[in-house]
Amino acid sequence: MENRDVISLISKIREKVNRFIVSEMVKYGIEGIATSHGDIIYALFRAPRLTMADISRRINKDKSTVTALVDKLVRLGYVTKERDTEDTRVVYVALTGRGRELEPIFESISQELLDVFYSDISDKEKEDLLHILKRIYGNF
């Protein structure tokens, strides 16, 4: 393997991680949600009500992409959208009861994913990997 192969390998790992997450969600009876929807739902687990702009910043996606993702989550019954009464340009997003029910499932899937991801990896190697990936991310 050459140094240049690392980017391809990271891409392949991302694909496998996404497939793992989707297949685990299907096991829990959750369909129609992509991993990019999960980013929004996780953000709402941490903050019960966010503006579309807040979500866009937190998940690092442009506002039009977030709008499309949120609209699908509204159709699926996981979130609600509400316009600000004073500034109608501002739209708030919040989890519904159905959306809140996803939290223990998502936490379980995340733990399963981490168990697989770090299988046979020492604590020192985990620290080194995280450190290196943060530095690479900072290069962009």
pTM over 0.75, yes/no: yes
Please write the tens of the pLDDT for every residue from 29-53: 998 899 999 999 999 999 989 999 9
Write the single-letter amino acid at 49.
R
Residue 125 has pLDDT above 70, yes or no: yes
Listed in order, strand segments (DSSP E) in the chain are 49-51, 79-83, 91-95
Please write the tens of the pLDDT for every residue from 69-124: 999 999 999 999 999 999 999 999 999 999 999 999 999 999 999 999 999 999 99
pLDDT at 131: 96
pLDDT at 29: 93
Report the percent of the chain where pLDDT is more than 90: 91
Beta bridge partners of 69: none
**Distance in angstroms (rounded) separating the CA atoms of residues 92 and 108:** 28
pLDDT at 1: 64
Tokens describing residue 138: 């900072």
pLDDT at 24: 95
